[in-house]
Amino acid sequence: MLACLCPVFDPGGLISTEPRINDRIRVPEVRLVAADGEQVGIVRIEEAHKRAEAAGLDLVEIAPTARPPVVKIMDYGKWKYDNAQKARESRRNQTNTLIKEMKLRPKIDDHDYETKKGHVVRFLRGGDKVKVTIMFRGREQSRPELGLNLLTKLAQEVEADGVVEAAPRQDGRNMIMVLAPTRKKSEARIEAKAEKERKAAERAADHEAEQRELAESRKASETAAKPTKKKRGPADNMDPDIDLV
CATH classification for the domain delimited by 8-92, as one of 3.40.50.300, 3.20.20.70, 3.30.230.10, 3.10.20.80: 3.10.20.80
Q: Which amino acid is at 183?
A: R
Q: Is 65 left (phi over 0), alpha (psi -120 to 50) or beta?
A: alpha
Q: Which amino acid is at 19?
A: P
Give the span between the Cα atoms of 166 and 164, in whole angstroms. 6
Tell me the mean pLDDT in the region 14-34.
Answer: 85
Q: Which amino acid is at 137?
A: R
Per-residue pLDDT at 68? 93
Upper half-sphere CA count for residue 39 (Cβ side, 13 Å): 4
pTM, two decimal places: 0.43
Q: How many helices (DSSP H) and strands (DSSP E) are in the chain?
A: 5, 10
Tell me which DSSP letter residue 165 carries: E
Chain Cα centroid distance, residue 11: 42
Tell me the mean pLDDT in the region 35-59.
Answer: 92
CB atoms within 10 A of CB 150: 21
pLDDT in tens, 109-137: 999 999 999 999 999 998 899 999 999 99
Tell me the mean pLDDT in the region 84-99.
Answer: 75
Residue boundaries of the structural domains of the chain = 8-92, 99-183
> Could you confirm whether domain 99-183 is CATH 3.40.50.10190?
no
Helices (H), 7-109: 45-55, 76-93
Per-residue pLDDT at 185? 64
Per-residue pLDDT at 97? 63
pLDDT in tens, 217-226: 887 777 776 6
Per-residue pLDDT at 233? 58
